[in-house]
Chain A
Amino acid sequence: MNFRQINADTVKNTVKKLFLDCNYNIGDDILCALKKSKDKEKSPVGQSVLAQIIENDEIAAAEQIPLCQDTGMAVLFVEYGDKVVIENGSFQEAVEQGVREAYEEGYLRKSVVSDPVFDRTNTKDNTPAIIHTKIVPGDKIKITAGGKGFGSENMSAIKMLTPSYGIEGVKDFVLETVRKAGPNPCPPMVVGVGIGGTFEKCAELAKKATFRSIDTENPDPRYADLERELLERINKMGFGPAGLGGSTTAIGVNVETYPTHIAGMPVAVNICCHAARHKSAEI
């Protein structure tokens, strides 16, 4: 068996770089969508809000400062090749150290508390991270990392729909979730939809959907159509940029699916703000 050795330091440095990069430099997909939306936006106030968001993102990139003060909880999707062995440390600790160094040295906000209910003391280094690991064949590690802000995270929802709800039930739940969110999650938003799997798989799919660039579409044309229809219908709601009214309430809807049980059709909606931050690297 041929195994490839990867130094824990390489993992740490990659993770650190990804978190700095995603918090300073918004993706081209988002910037491009914001600019296109500004040209199409029907509300003058909405146009002005979009112009300010674009200016904000350009300032952050030029000055290498966070584009939003909520630099989020650190979320990573890892595809870990089964022929990789980490030397001089553990994968888990290397990832946490990368997060720690990015948030401490990169002037990112530390937003994690040690206990959700009783002891909400800040951990002061933004750890622990949320790490979703998938073991895949191969000798590489692919990491997609992003800071997830909670203004939008709090507007997310999951529902255990059953098969008879059908596609209309899925649409209704997504639209209802966005309508409830209204002006709160910093629109224009990116909406991640997970359909299928189990309760927890569905939520993970929705998060993964927000980590996919909005200039891509689901490879299955039926779900690509669903993405387009949902985006169009969300933009008819009228919330607009910053919720101040307008025709740009969302700039992207991404749908991810997975096989599910004969009795189920879970749907999760993970709402993300316009600062949909994610960057990828392969080691």
Chain B
Amino acid sequence: MKRITLPLTDEQIETLNAGDSVLLSGTMITGRDAAHKRLYELAQKGEDFPVDIKGETIYYVGPAPAKPGYAVGPAGPTSSYRMDKYAPTLMDMGLKAMVGKGARNKEVVDAIVRNHGVYFAAIGGAAALIAKSIKSEKLLCYEDLGTEAIREYVVEDFPCVVVIDSKGNNVYETEPQKYNEE
């Protein structure tokens, strides 16, 4: 199990290989469908973002509300492919890493390699467990989007797996083959 500090450095990204189980600590930002659509539209118009994504790790999540006494509500990953349309643009603008679940298209894999980034997967449906590693949250922008607003999470030992590394190796393509008995 590798312990990784956020924000990621190029040197750290270099050491990450597809299949590695990692624990992330530091800060990441959140965003999913609606927030991506807004950022993408700003990018197309050449306008500034309300949040700095340079060097950031973005977590595709729409948390449930926090019960009193909790830093955050249950917060597991959402399906990443819905962000595929937007992710290459954001990566070309400086986004370094993404945390989600499920497959990515070729354009995203190419953008990861081109920008020397990385794609992590957290365990879908393990929201209550994952929330234990999120120590605090802060609203950054798009409050009107509710659960889809962009927030900053401070995480400690956030568990995930390197699915697509900076070389373009992809666990979803290599690992299932090893267990295919058809």
Contact = CB atoms under 8 A, between A and B. Distances in A.
Interface of A: 42-43, 45-46, 48-49, 52-53, 55-57, 59-60, 63, 65-71, 107-111, 120, 122, 124, 151, 154, 182-186, 233, 236-240, 242-247, 273-275
B127 interface: yes
Contacts of B63: 69, 109
B140 interface: no
A105 to B, nearest CB: 10
Contacts of A110: 146-147
Nearest to A42: B179
Contact of B181 (A108, A124, A151, A238): A238
A240 B64 contact: no
A59 B178 contact: no
A175 to B, nearest CB: 9
- Interface size class for chain B? 35 or more
B50 interface: no
B103 A68 contact: no
Given A66-B127, A108-B64, A182-B172, A242 B179 contact: no
Given A52-B159, A122-B146, A151-B79, A109 B65 contact: yes
Contacts of B126: 52-53, 55-56
B150 to A, nearest CB: 16
A68 to B, nearest CB: 5
B124 A245 contact: no
B36 to A, nearest CB: 13
17 contacts: A53-B126, A60-B128, A66-B74, A67-B125, A69-B74, A70-B76, A109-B63, A120-B34, A151-B124, A182-B176, A185-B102, A236-B182, A237-B180, A238-B180, A242-B123, A245-B178, A273-B124
Contact of B125 (A63, A109, A186): A186
B161 interface: yes
A107 B62 contact: no
A184 to B, nearest CB: 4
B175 A184 contact: no
Contacts of B34: 120
B64 A71 contact: yes
B21 interface: yes
Interface of B: 19, 21, 34, 61-67, 70, 73-76, 78-79, 81, 101-103, 121, 123-130, 132, 146-147, 159, 161, 163, 171-172, 174-182
A49 to B, nearest CB: 6
Contacts of A107: 64-67, 73
B78 A70 contact: yes
A211 to B, nearest CB: 18
A274 B125 contact: yes
A102 B146 CA distance: 18
B125 A245 contact: no
B123 to A, nearest CB: 5
B131 to A, nearest CB: 8
B21 A45 contact: yes
Given A42-B179, A52-B159, A236-B182, A66 B124 contact: no
Given A56-B129, A122-B146, A45 B175 contact: yes
Contacts of B175: 43, 45, 238, 240, 244-246
B129 A55 contact: yes
Contacts of B73: 65-66, 69, 107, 109
Contacts of A70: 62, 76, 78, 127
A56 B161 contact: no
Nearest to A26: B125
Given A70-B78, A122-B146, A183-B101, A109 B123 contact: no
A244 B180 CA distance: 12
Contacts of B123: 49, 52-53, 56, 242
A157 to B, nearest CB: 16
Contacts of A236: 180-182
Contact of B128 (A49, A66, A108, A274): A66
Contacts of A69: 61-64, 73-76, 127, 147
A186 B129 contact: no
A247 B180 CA distance: 8
